[in-house]
Amino acid sequence: MSENLATSPYFWVPGIGPSAQALQRLRALVRLPRRAMGEAWFMSEERRLFSGLMDEDPLRWRQDELDSALFELSSGPGSFGARREWLVWFGFLLPRAQTLIGDGKAPCFSGRWLHGALATATFVHCPDPGFPNLPLHVRRDLLDTLARTLFAAQHWNHGRVAPNPFFQPLGNSPHHGFYFDGGDALAASCLLVLKYLDAELIDGWLVSALGISDPNWRAAFVVWLAGSAPLIVDAAYPGRLSHSDQYPATWQHDHLIHAPTSPSTSDSAEISFIDPQRRHAFLSALRRQLDRSRLRRWQQELTASSDLLHGFDYARRQYETAAELVIERYGLS
């Protein structure tokens, strides 16, 4: 991949999902390791090895073993330091496990869980958004695969989110009835973009994200903005995210992502999950593109599209309060 292609504009378009070519390039980076990965946390004399993953074909993996391995390689570095073993296995698992999220052909490995776990593993093992010591294409290939998963064609129907078990912006709870979900795949995907996309490309990406016409998508995005304010406005790490039902914006294993213990800069205030340049680019773009008038118009369209839904009161109030919080926290006009 040339440098021009790696830094070309980046958009989210319903129906344009992960790039098969990018996924193949990521697969080619790391072959099957010679030794099975070992667990990070153990008290017995023998360390558990994930030998069932010693297979190039992910369809032969067991879900419980993959789940455990992703947790171990994401939780281990924070307590025991970076180990080549976990980094190599992360590089091997990342592109192959993505094919298990569910494309209508392969069995679905609890896609919502798996997508979030892969995002967390990426944030843990690639804390530097510049991807030092890796080929130029890797960062963009990651954005063209894992960050595009929720836009696969089978998840959309004429610009609206189609019913699917992986991603639903409008959920239904026995406690509240309908509610908007800004967490899981949506939250992880947005933060993959904010952390790794070049700052000068964030404005174009946000135009595409806010331009998606599905009223439920827009409402879930606003809920994500409300829940993610600590990361974007306050420069915090995911541990500051709330796990309340009001503004869901968390994803699988996000609590395993920690700030570096030995910051590379003397100014500790500059240590944040999303670097200052990208946060500032996002905030500037958001203030240009979103305002009280647009949020009110979305609310009207949302109400019109939900008139026939019983039990929509909570979702309607949720959007209204989220929109007010977003206006306040992000300084929208």
Per-residue pLDDT tens digits for 250-302: 999 999 999 986 544 444 445 899 999 999 999 999 999 999 999 999 999 99
pLDDT at 53: 98
The alpha-carbon radius of gyration of the chain (Å, integer) is 20
- Which residue bears the tokens 């344009």? 16
Cα separation, 58 vs 63, in Å, equals 10
Most confident of 69-83, 164-178, 289-303: 289-303
pLDDT at 163: 87
Cα separation, 150 vs 166, in Å, equals 8
Q: Identify whether the C-beta of residue 19 lies closer than 8 Å to the C-beta of residue 34.
A: no
- The partner residues of 38 in beta bridges, in order of sequence, read 49
Distances (CA, A) of 235 to 89, 228, 283: 30, 10, 12
Whole-model pTM: value is 0.94
Kindly state the average pLDDT of the residues 126-130: 95
pLDDT at 5: 59
Cα separation, 18 vs 141, in Å, equals 9
Range in 55-64, 69-78, 109-118 with the lowest mean pLDDT: 109-118
